[in-house]
Structure 1
Amino acid sequence: MRTLAKFLGIVLVALMATQVHAQQINFDRNLDNFRYPDKRGINVFESPKDTTNTFNGVDVRVGGSFALQYQEIENENAGLPGYEIKEAGSNFNLATANMDLDVALYDGVRMHLRTYLSSRHHHEPYVKGGYLQIDKLEFIKEGFLEGLMQYTTIKVGHMENNYGDAHFRRSDNAQALYNPFVGNLIMDAFTTEVGAEVYYRRNGFIGMVGFTNGKLNQSVEEDETGKTGGASFLAKLGYDKQVNDDLRLRLTGSLYNTGYVPHSYLYSADRAGSRYYGVMQALESEGDDFRAGRYDPKLMNNITAVMINPFVKYGGLEFFGTVEMAKGKASYESDDRTAMQYAGELIYRFGADENVYVGGRYNLVDAEDISGEDVTIDRFQLAAGWFMTRNILLKAEYVIQNYNDFGAASIYNEGKFDGAMVEAVISF
């Protein structure tokens, strides 16, 4: 990945030099069928299906994001011998950065590639993933299946898979501008697998089916069962309608299912790491537990997950909810386990162009843990934010998270962390 990132950097410099020489830089930086990385992308879910065409030759849009947080959080647990945790202090976290390449390749054909230049888990650049998005088939023949493609989108790649709606509002390393809070959900559903997704959108209705190879880390090596991988099936069905100038309604249901995979990373795939640094880290551990603050039910080899997301926006007031059920097991377990997640967030945006907001979120996980215990984790977040420009966001959050019913042989026994964070985000 590092070699590929360096190669992409060289290609990027060459492309920019070519564009400057030819005086063909796209100063408005607009692309068709594209979710913008700035304030215009707020409350956008799947990339829009544009009705107009602006393609006029290959066009490279270079973008990126930068995020920096100041953290002041206190943490504690039962402190039993062998299960003590490191004490979190107050200071700045490592700044994170992304680089995006979005390229209009042909009329209705676009490529996206995201590279993490710096992240919590990897200080060096590495490629997150990318995809080819097809909204027209003009490259086959002019007008080919034009009636069908008016409502259809095809995505193929090693990409962020479209399970649920929560991943459209989460922080993706330095791209934290879409997220009104600092932290993501406790069970943070996010994965990048090789696959394809087909969308059909018409009159507000949304349908999507997709297949992937079920692998985060790609490899041709066989596991102990003699398999190089498995398969995952994705589906989404929903309705999204701007009812009038003030009211928008959206409701979707999503499915992610694997019969067998060598290792499912649905709740642990984000290598960028949790936004809460060092909060529940074992005292004797070395390095940084970059997933601290999250919960992975460890349904490692077989998983079925369902997520329902309602979204309502009336004027400046918006509600986004999550109801999620994940069921499955590791291959050495005989019985399935279940993890449930509930989250609701209420945001009020006001001021000129809704440039200021305040909001709150409550998040609860109730799970049959791999240890055999029935555990719960709850979190409450209060947040406020100010868009200084459409590319610059300053936000603050107060968070309190409690770990309940974890046994004595766990660092989460009577665990808790609470405190404040301030985050500055630039995205363009």
Structure 2
Amino acid sequence: MKKTLISMHIAAGILAMSTAASAAEFMDGKVKISGAAMQAWQSGIEVEGAAVNPNDAAADSAFQRMRFALNINAQVAENVSVFAELAEEPNDWNNGSAAISQDLAWIQFDLPNNTGVRLGNVVSTTQNFIRYSDGAAVQSNPFVGNSLIDMITAEEGLWAYGSHTLDSGTNLTWDAVLATPDFFTDFSEGHGYNIGLRGTVNLESGLSFGAGAFKTDHKQSAVTGKPFGSLIAIGDGDNYQFANTAPSARATHPLIVPGVQALVWQADVQYKGDNFLVHAIYGEAKDDYSWAAGEGSLQTAYIAEESKMEFWSVEGKYDISKDYYLAARYAESSNKSTGVNGPNKADRLQLSAGYWMNDSTLFKAEYVKQEEEQFSGGGATIFGAAGGSEWDGFIIEASVTF
């Protein structure tokens, strides 16, 4: 099967799937099928303090719902392919039916000079060098959960991208998206289009720089009655679960910017050595609109008042050997919205260890602690309640690709 641009650096960092080398081939190699499975056990994560859901103040340990994904990659012609991920993903869909759904799919057109275009589900994000867990696709992430400040979602549209290596050995990547702000279909008047642009500069020394920006453009009338404009500043589903809050809720992410007429940007710097890496980001999300009842919960009414979130994080990973690694990440956000005065920060600390049993099987263990101040906009905290809230826990994950 012809090697497509799916394997490029810029694509590999954001694909929510794992394509195993041992994928089954059909139709003379034109169709490859691979997949992933993940199961996790979690200690009882209790929300202490001003919890939005008081029933989350007590919890027992339990096994989470298993995640499963099937990936289909079909080479239709020399420069045309189709990708589809069919997944059961309770921390995002949470439809309670154990149904396999389309989670990510596109038609891909390979163009000259290592460029390409995809039509279908586009990955809308400002992030670069992504290590991210999405359903059963978790092995690119050294942690079990994601970052407190992941700015990422999926929408319908057009995705163009490229990768270019200069004579000096420096590699440049870029991608751009034009999307309808919905994963399904949205023809409502005034829904607008979202636009995103990202790029990286990767030196032979292992030092890399990246930046990304994303703009949403809804009319207020188009989002009234809906809980958000675009999900990008609210994040995707995470792998931590509370006792009585739906796994698909965004209760672990700051709920500050509703994505109506928003601009999100961030800058990255990363150094990757033979057995370690460090990665730092800084960014800002700002919207001309806010939820009418303030930050901290998804609502369906909006006011023309600025909401703003500043965020940063630093993470590191050290490979003890080819089989074992250690990783740590600290992320922090600040609510800078109009009218916010007082304690306004949320932060998450993640400490992780991993063991590769073989090339396809990974075990992870992680300790996580999150603190949400009074006006942080944290999803587990009652906005404005004195003292805010905090939660912590321990989680173990086993994952397999095939």
Normalized against structure 1, the TM-score is what?
0.75
Structure 1 residue 256 and structure 2 residue 214: aligned?
yes
Structure 1 residue 184 and structure 2 residue 184: aligned?
no
**2:364 — aligned with what?**
395
Q: Distance in 2 between matches of 1:296 and 1:88?
A: 23
Of residues 172-181 and 80-89 in structure 1, the stretch that sits farther from structure 2 once superposed is: 80-89
Q: Which of 159, 182, 185 is the aligned partner of 2:122?
A: 159
Q: Which of 76, 83, 86 is the aligned partner of 1:105?
A: 76
**1:72 — aligned with what?**
43
Q: Distance in 2 between matches of 1:200 and 1:33?
A: 8
Q: Distance in 2 between matches of 1:106 and 1:268?
A: 38
Aligned-pair CA distance for 1:426: 0.9
**1:424 — aligned with what?**
398
Aligned-pair CA distance for 1:298: 3.4
Aligned-pair CA distance for 1:275: 0.9
User: Judging changes above 3 Å, is the alpha-carbon distance between structure 1 residues 219 and 209 closer, same or farther for their aligned structure 2 residues?
Assistant: closer
Q: Do 1:195 and 1:210's aligned partners in 2 also have CA atoms closer than 8 Å?
A: yes
Q: Distance in 2 between matches of 1:133 and 1:71?
A: 38
**1:12-91 residue pairs with structure 2 within 5 A?**
31-35=3-7, 44-45=12-13, 59-78=30-49, 85-91=56-62
**1:290 — aligned with what?**
249
Amino acid in structure 2 at the alignment position of 1:311: Q
Amino acid in structure 2 at the alignment position of 1:62: I
Task: Tell me which structure has the larger Cα radius of gyration.
Answer: 1
Q: Which of 182, 206, 210 is the aligned partner of 2:177?
A: 210
Q: Do 1:298 and 1:370's aligned partners in 2 also have CA atoms closer than 8 Å?
A: no
**1:237 — aligned with what?**
199
Q: Distance in 1 between matches of 2:135 and 2:28?
A: 31
Structure 1 residue 278 and structure 2 residue 213: aligned?
no
Q: Which of 311, 327, 336 is the aligned partner of 1:359?
A: 327
User: Judging changes above 3 Å, is the alpha-carbon distance between structure 1 residues 364 and 80 closer, same or farther for their aligned structure 2 residues?
Assistant: closer
Q: Do 2:325 and 2:354's aligned partners in 1 also have CA atoms closer than 8 Å?
A: yes
Q: Do 1:309 and 1:323's aligned partners in 2 also have CA atoms closer than 8 Å?
A: yes
Aligned-pair CA distance for 1:189: 1.7
User: Judging changes above 3 Å, is the alpha-carbon distance between structure 1 residues 330 and 311 closer, same or farther for their aligned structure 2 residues?
Assistant: same
**1:325-404 residue pairs with structure 2 within 5 A?**
325-330=284-289, 332-351=302-321, 354-368=322-336, 372=340, 375-404=344-373
Secondary structure of the 1:34 match is helix
1:273-318 deviations in Å (ceiling 9; x for gaps)? 3211106x5xxx7x55632222232323111000212221111010
Q: Which of 225, 231, 236 is the aligned partner of 1:265?
A: 231
Q: Do 2:114 and 2:162's aligned partners in 1 also have CA atoms closer than 8 Å?
A: yes
Secondary structure of the 1:293 match is coil
Q: Distance in 2 between matches of 1:289 and 1:258?
A: 23
Normalized against structure 2, the TM-score is what?
0.79
User: Judging changes above 3 Å, is the alpha-carbon distance between structure 1 residues 115 and 163 closer, same or farther for their aligned structure 2 residues?
Assistant: farther
1:171-202 deviations in Å (ceiling 9; x for gaps)? 01110110000110113322111221222332
Q: Distance in 1 between matches of 2:125 and 2:248?
A: 27
Q: Do 1:116 and 1:173's aligned partners in 2 also have CA atoms closer than 8 Å?
A: yes
Secondary structure of the 1:266 match is helix
1:137-165 deviations in Å (ceiling 9; x for gaps)? xxxxxxxxxxxx12322222123235322
| Unaligned 5+ runs, structure 1 | 1-25, 48-55, 137-148
User: Judging changes above 3 Å, is the alpha-carbon distance between structure 1 residues 195 and 237 closer, same or farther for their aligned structure 2 residues?
Assistant: same
Q: Do 1:235 and 1:255's aligned partners in 2 also have CA atoms closer than 8 Å?
A: yes
1:73-123 deviations in Å (ceiling 9; x for gaps)? 442333589856441221111111111111112113222111222423133
Aligned-pair CA distance for 1:32: 3.3
Instruction: Kindly report the root-mean-square deviation, in angstroms, between the aligned alpha carbons of the 2 structures.
Output: 3.0
Q: Distance in 1 between matches of 2:382 and 2:154?
A: 33
Amino acid in structure 1 at the alignment position of 2:335: A
Structure 1 residue 317 and structure 2 residue 288: aligned?
no
Structure 1 residue 116 and structure 2 residue 84: aligned?
no
Aligned-pair CA distance for 1:260: 2.2
Q: Do 1:300 and 1:329's aligned partners in 2 also have CA atoms closer than 8 Å?
A: no
Amino acid in structure 2 at the alignment position of 1:266: I
Amino acid in structure 1 at the alignment position of 2:230: S
Amino acid in structure 2 at the alignment position of 1:255: A
User: Judging changes above 3 Å, is the alpha-carbon distance between structure 1 residues 310 and 44 closer, same or farther for their aligned structure 2 residues?
Assistant: farther
Q: Percent identity?
A: 18
**1:198 — aligned with what?**
160
Aligned-pair CA distance for 1:398: 0.8
Q: Distance in 1 between matches of 2:195 and 2:41?
A: 39
Q: Distance in 2 between matches of 1:177 and 1:425?
A: 7
Q: Do 1:79 and 1:85's aligned partners in 2 also have CA atoms closer than 8 Å?
A: no
Amino acid in structure 1 at the alignment position of 2:128: D
Q: Distance in 1 between matches of 2:372 and 2:262?
A: 24
Q: Do 2:126 and 2:211's aligned partners in 1 also have CA atoms closer than 8 Å?
A: no
Q: Distance in 1 between matches of 2:51 and 2:365?
A: 33
